[in-house]
Homo-oligomer: A and B are copies of this chain.
Amino acid sequence: MDKINIKRLAEELNLSTSTISRALQDSYQIGAATKQRVLELAKKLNYQPNPHASSLGSSRSKTIAVVIPEVFDSYFALAINGIEAVAQAQGYHVLIYLTHERLQLEQEILHAFRSGRVDGVVISVSAETTSTAHIQALRAQGVPVVFFDRAADDVDTARVTTNDTESAYQATCHLIERRCTTLLLLSISRHLSIGRQRIAGYRQALTEHGLAFRDDDIVDCGQDPEANRELLEATLRARPGIDGIISTVEMLTESTYQACYALHRRIPQDVKVVSFYNSRSAAILNPSLTTISQPAFEMGKTAATLLLKALRNPKSTLVAENVVLPSVLTIRNSTASIG
């Protein structure tokens, strides 16, 4: 029992390899009867086409890449599910790359994609990504790119985001309505579009309500939960007047709660907290957390769908198009009114 390949099938059926190839691809040029025979034999012999050979021949890999900063956050975990779902349904394979929030790694990864390893890329850029030459270059090589969640403004391609400005605005308004007057915004990327938008929404809400926007109300957090907790503790200690916190990243929730616990700042009595948060655990936190939850799964699904559609029509340009899926503000106890 030697290797069974297209040639073997051809011999067995007294057909040429090209006919087999076409039959397997369900080409219209092949007679139904022939197709039938080919498919049957293939099934019987347990034929598995060699993907590398077919990628080489066709210059299409049937593979897409997902480039994300991390998978700790439940946002990205959920998004992967969405992406994988549509890819699997359409016969595509999914390669995962983590940038660990580092621009250099992101550049290297995308640079390697110039080789044709993948047909397209779905990406959420790293917190460090300011320059976008690496993304532009990839697109220039004909590799379509779709952003999801964290997009780079200066790249004209499809992006799937949520209504970041508006959500941050709503969250801020909500806190203000609950009588907060000194609001901290926790950010991990001031320069990223998404970070700026959330800041913008926050700022707009403050302004509309006659509150001052202070630059040092924006806290620049990093990747390390411990360090972030310390930073927050220090900030809260230094500024006892703070009575509201908006966390723009799921990961910062734990540090925020821990900092409040440590300083005996009661949530929501002393400080109210709202966070961008996608895990189901929001409802069982202490206290239950008021969240802005993003449609993570849907966003992944949509991004992959856009990409695969572009891959189907070689001419489809995948131009600047922004699909905005709404996030949902769910009010829970972390922002409850006092009495």
Residues of B contacting A52 in the complex (Cβ-Cβ under 8 angstroms): 52-53, 55-56, 61, 116-117
Residues of B contacting A258 in the complex (Cβ-Cβ under 8 angstroms): 283-284
How many angstroms from the CA of A142 to the CA of B290 in the assembled complex?
52
Contact of A81 among B70, B112, B225, B283 (CB under 8 A): B70
Contact of A53 among B56, B254, B261 (CB under 8 A): B56
**Distance to closest chain B CB from A222 (angstroms):** 15
Residues of B contacting A114 in the complex (Cβ-Cβ under 8 angstroms): 46, 48
Contact residues of A between 83 and 121, Cβ < 8 Å to B: 84-85, 88, 93-98, 111-112, 114-117
Copies of this chain present in the complex amount to 2
The number of residues on chain A lying at the interface, defined by a beta carbon within 8 Å of a beta carbon of chain B, is 51
Smallest Cβ-Cβ distance to A62: which chain B residue: B117
Check if A281 is an interface residue, CB within 8 A of chain B: yes
Contact of A71 among B46, B71, B254 (CB under 8 A): B71
Contact residues of A between 249 and 290, Cβ < 8 Å to B: 253-254, 257-258, 261, 279-281, 283-288
Q: Looking at chain A's contact residues, is the secondary structure mostly helix, strand, loop, or mixed?
A: helix
How many angstroms from the CA of A52 to the CA of B50 in the assembled complex?
10
A interface residues (Cβ-Cβ under 8 A, vs B): 46, 48-53, 55-56, 61, 63, 66, 70-72, 74, 76-78, 80-81, 84-85, 88, 93-98, 111-112, 114-117, 225, 253-254, 257-258, 261, 279-281, 283-288
A46-B114, A63-B95, A72-B78 given; 7 more Cβ-contact pairs under 8 Å: A71-B78, A84-B97, A93-B95, A94-B97, A279-B279, A284-B285, A286-B287
Which 9 residue pairs spanning A and B have beta carbons closest together?
A: A286-B286, A52-B55, A48-B115, A257-B284, A52-B56, A71-B77, A77-B77, A48-B114, A51-B117
